Amino acid sequence: MNEFEFIASQLKPLAGSFAGALNLEDDAAILTPEKGQEFVVTTDALTAGIHFFATDPPRLIAQKCLRVNLSDIAAMGAAPYCYSLALMLPEQTSQGWLSEFCDGLRADQNDHNVHLSGGDTTSTNGPLSVAITMIGTVPAGKAVKRSTARIGDDIWVTGTIGDAAMGLQALKGALPTIDAAARHALVRRYHVPQPRNRIAPTLRHVATSAIDISDGLAADLGHICTASGVGAQVSASKIPVSDHVLSLLNTSAITFETILSGGDDYELMFTANPDKVKKINILSKDLNLKISKIGRLTADLEVGFINQDGRMLTFSSNGFRHF
């Protein structure tokens, strides 16, 4: 199967009803903005051996590549619109592999109402790489940025933190005592993040800033603080963790710092004025999604975590410091 056959048989159906894709037969796709809307654009590149294992199921690789981009769109308070796919394939990539990869894209496209708009398929002498540029739409002026958090705002996170990082540790064999059910659940969180796009339309009305947690909770909170010129104080005990992670913490298999610095969760962290607490709790119930208040923004420019035993940890780009 050459590039053109692959595009015709596997990729064109993914452009589907999106007229702007021009049936993937042109030099570029056309994006027609609706009145009062603007676009947001994000790119994430993933490479075998770095961001996933070359032997991971192709369906999961496809979904991870799409979902890390969907997560960025959610963090801007935007709705997914279309995406461009750059696929750099090793020569030996089989038709079956490509077909399963496209099945993964299709499943997530349907779940998130987003279409393939175009891209490029090339060969590589190296590992498989996938670069996706996703475009979302948002009412003009309403995108949620990192730089607009305010001192005194509450800090919130969705879901549970640390599962994906522990899933990666389990895959690497670093958690030998873990039971099979916990291992499965954590590895799944690593393989297929659950981007929080359902919350995005409301995020625009409650959040003063937002980010998706890809580098780790501490680092990503640092990104908000740096961009907004504020500091933060977080109660470590309020950071939501799953039962599996709690067990690992209780048996001292891992430290709390590894939860704070572990990436790949793709939960959303956002800040909001304290008068939004009630609205956010209702939202949490409506979406059946845990949303936890973990701390508050401060004038002091440090990002500090109050540990379970009352000690303070501060986080800088060099990692944690104990006081």
Contact positions toward its own copies, by CB under 8 A?
Answer: 4, 22, 25-33, 38-47, 49-51, 72-73, 75-76, 78, 82, 84-88, 117-120, 122-127, 129, 131, 133, 135-136, 138, 140, 143, 145-147, 210-212, 223, 226-227, 317
**Cβ at position 149, least distance to its own copies in Å:** 12
Nearer to its own copies, 5 or 286 (CB): 5
Work out whether strand 209-212 and strand 268-272 pair parallel, antiparallel, or are unpaired: antiparallel
Nearer to its own copies, 73 or 178 (CB): 73
**Cβ at position 73, least distance to its own copies in Å:** 7
Nearer to its own copies, 46 or 171 (CB): 46
Place of tokens 């809307």: 37
**Cβ at position 231, least distance to its own copies in Å:** 17
Nearer to its own copies, 130 or 254 (CB): 130
* Closest by Cα among 212, 308, 323, 183 to 255: 308
Q: Are 272 and 153 in contact (CB under 8 A)?
A: yes
**Cβ at position 72, least distance to its own copies in Å:** 4
Work out whether strand 79-90 and strand 115-124 pair parallel, antiparallel, or are unpaired: parallel
Give me 17's structure tokens: 């009803």
Nearer to its own copies, 51 or 183 (CB): 51
For the residues of 257-296, what is the DSSP string, one character each? HHHHH------EEEEE-GGGHHHHHHHHHHHT--EEEEEE
DSSP symbol at 5? H
**Radius of gyration over every alpha carbon of the chain, rounded to an integer in angstroms:** 20
> What sign does the CA torsion over 198, 204, 208, 211 have?
positive
**Cβ at position 251, least distance to its own copies in Å:** 33
* Closest by Cα among 122, 109, 45, 59 to 83: 109
**Cβ at position 132, least distance to its own copies in Å:** 9
Q: Give the contacts of 10 (CB within 8 A, at least 6 positions apart).
A: 98, 99, 102
Nearer to its own copies, 145 or 184 (CB): 145
Nearer to its own copies, 135 or 182 (CB): 135
d(CA 110, CA 276) in angstroms, rounded, equals 32
**Cβ at position 283, least distance to its own copies in Å:** 20
Q: Phi and psi for 275 in degrees, rounded to 5?
A: -75, 0
